[in-house]
Structures are given as structure tokens and as C-alpha cells.
Amino acid sequence: GQQLNQSPQSMFIQEGEDVSMNCTSSSIFNTWLWYKQDPGEGPVLLIALYKAGELTSNGRLTAQFGITRKDSFLNISASIPSDVGIYFCAGQTPNANTGNQFYFGTGTSLTVIP
């Protein structure tokens, strides 16, 4: 199936720094989702975006639905050690057989150095 390209693949930052990551696709999506996965856990939904151009915040996290509907961005401000994990984007599109189809990004691994 289709896979979304995330960049960067990994990041090593100092505590307190801001973080930016993005997700791109060759196809348009109706919904963009951002997840965080801790080791040994399932992904946890952070932010959902429903409209092109939409900018949504969840605490120190801000995500944007690209106006072309082919990309999305996630920013984390003032990073803290518990931000460590792997961040995945996902795009949603209708599927005639199953109702909805979700495609996941390749992931961005974030390490925060205290």
C-alpha cells in the first residue's frame, strides 16, 4: 500500500528546543492524523486535521493540514524529555470496499537530550 514520506527520519535535540517534522504524499487526503508511539505501546492520537489549511494545537503541539492536501506538518515547542518517541503521520481517504483507508508515514524518531 501507499506509504507517506516523513522527514526527518530522526532528530536529536536539546531539551527546550522546538521541533518541526513533516509528512508528504503524492495523493490528496481528506484527514491528516498525527500519532506518538512510545516503546512497547500502541500509537496514541495527538492531533486530527480535517480541512486544508487548518491549524490545530494540542498543548505544545501544533499541526497543519497543507493547502494542497498532500502534506502536513507537526511542531513541538519547548521540548521536554517525555516528548521522546516515534511520531507517525497518517492520511485518511475514502475506500469503496472498507469505508475508509488510512496510510501511515515512515515515522520520525525524536530524542530529547536533557
Partner 1 sequence: SAVISQKPSRDICQRGTSLTIQCQVDSQVTMMFWYRQQPGQSLTLIATANQGSEATYESGFVIDKFPISRPNLTFSTLTVSNMSPEDSSIYLCSVGLAGAYEQYFGPGTRLTVT
Compare residues 14 and 26 and give the one whose CB is closer to partner 1. Answer: 26
Q: Which of 33, 61, 63, 110 binds partner 1 (CB under 8 A)?
A: 33
Cell of 113: 537530550
CB 81 within 8 A of CB 73: no
Q: Which of 34, 65, 87, 88 binds partner 1 (CB under 8 A)?
A: 88
SS3 82: helix
Task: Give me the 41-80 binding string for partner 1, x by CB under 8 A, dash otherwise.
Answer: xxxxx--x-x------------------------------
CB 106 within 8 A of CB 9: yes
Q: What is the 3-state secondary structure (H, E, C) of 53-80?
A: CCEEEECCEEEEECCCCCEEEEEECCCC
- The distance of closest approach from Cβ of residue 16 to partner 1 in the complex, given in angstroms and rounded to an integer, is 27
Give the interface with partner 1 as residue ranges (CB under 8 A). Answer: 1, 3, 30-31, 33, 35, 40-45, 48, 50, 88, 90, 92, 97-100, 102, 104-107
